[in-house]
């Protein structure tokens, strides 16, 4: 009120300068607001088989509710890195099988390949495949689930559909649920003990390595060592191709709050 009254009376130099400074300040504020970047919209999906890219397209997060019709939603909201995701909603009540496999992957799945993927790659030319993975959750302690890698193999490097070779799982932890098939020997890989389970699902051989002492994270886990063991057991053939490396959760009951904080997979050699 005071400055406006002075300018209205005599347009004194001091008043004029004050008005000019006020105007410049408002212009600066407007310019600043004009160039400010909006907050990014979190990527999310509630579609049963919905997905979205992560890490600039190097990875893909997939909802993959294959074993139930109950609602499940995932997003990258709250992830600490751009290679993480969280299960926001999981209304599952399964007791005999997983409701789905919300996961992050690198490689080729149903004809879609992530950016710069080293997969598919022949097993006998695999070199080293290592992965670091950090997880947490869930928010509901009554949830039943397992945390596991899923590696897929196929005789065809360019398989456009479901893999026809074999499935290899590496379970980091479980709330008591167990893999398909029968429990066999215990093997030592990467400084830990793993129970080996073997079975079939829809005619596809499945071999699962279940860590005897569960963990929520691993660093540079040598996945190629599990592939080598599965090859010696005849489950995986040297001429087949590793098509993708996936990491996620199999929620049976509940599962909301399960989180992949960060994930990476690297192939070297051969």
Is 167 marked active-site?
yes
Query: Which residue of the set 250, 251, 265, 267 is catalytic?
Result: 250
The C-alpha atoms of residue 72 and residue 257 are separated, in whole angstroms, by: 11
Is 91 marked active-site?
no
Q: What region does 2 belong to: left with phi over 0, alpha with psi -120 to 50, or beta?
A: alpha
Closest residue by Cα to residue 188 from 224, 226, 138: 226
Do residues 260 and 119 lie in contact, with contact meaning Cβ atoms separated by under 8 Å? no
6-27 exposure pattern, b = at least 16 Cβ within 10 A, e = fewer: eeeeeeeeebeeeeeeeeeeee
Query: Which residue of the set 150, 154, 167, 229 is catalytic?
Result: 167
The C-alpha atoms of residue 224 and residue 189 are separated, in whole angstroms, by: 10
Closest residue by Cα to residue 181 from 192, 169, 173: 169
Strands (E), 99-203: 103-109, 112-113, 121-122, 128-136, 144-154, 166-174, 182-189, 192-201
Q: Cβ contacts of residue 45 below 8 Å, gap of 6+?
A: 51, 52, 63, 73, 74, 75
Q: Which residues are catalytic?
A: 167, 250
């Amino acid at each position: 009120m005071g400055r406006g009254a002075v300018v209205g009376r005599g347009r004194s130099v001091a008043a004029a300068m004050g008005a000019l400074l006020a105007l410049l300040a408002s212009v600066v504020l407007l310019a600043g607001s004009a160039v400010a970047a909006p907050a990014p919209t979190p990527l999310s999906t509630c579609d049963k088989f919905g997905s979205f890219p992560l890490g600039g397209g190097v990875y893909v997060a997939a909802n993959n509710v294959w074993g139930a019709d109950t609602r499940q939603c995932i997003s990258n909201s709250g992830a600490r890195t751009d290679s993480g995701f969280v299960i926001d909603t999981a209304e599952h009540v399964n007791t005999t099988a997983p409701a789905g496999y919300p996961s992050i992957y690198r490689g080729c799945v149903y004809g879609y390949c992530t950016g710069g993927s080293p997969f598919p790659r022949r097993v006998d030319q695999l070199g080293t495949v290592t992965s670091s993975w950090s997880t947490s959750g869930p928010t509901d302690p009554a949830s039943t689930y397992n945390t596991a890698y899923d590696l897929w193999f196929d005789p065809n490097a360019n398989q456009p559909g479901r893999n026809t070779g074999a499935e290899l799982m590496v379970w980091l932890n479980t709330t008591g649920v167990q893999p398909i098939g029968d429990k066999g020997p215990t093997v030592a890989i990467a400084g830990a003990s793993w129970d080996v389970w073997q079975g079939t699902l829809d005619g596809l051989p499945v071999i699962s390595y279940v860590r005897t002492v569960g963990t929520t994270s691993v660093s540079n886990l040598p996945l190629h060592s599990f592939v080598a063991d599965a090859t010696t057991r005849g489950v995986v053939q040297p001429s087949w191709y590793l098509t993708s490396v996936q990491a996620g959760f199999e929620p049976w009951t509940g599962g909301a709050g399960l989180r992949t904080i960060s994930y990476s997979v690297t192939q070297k050699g051969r």
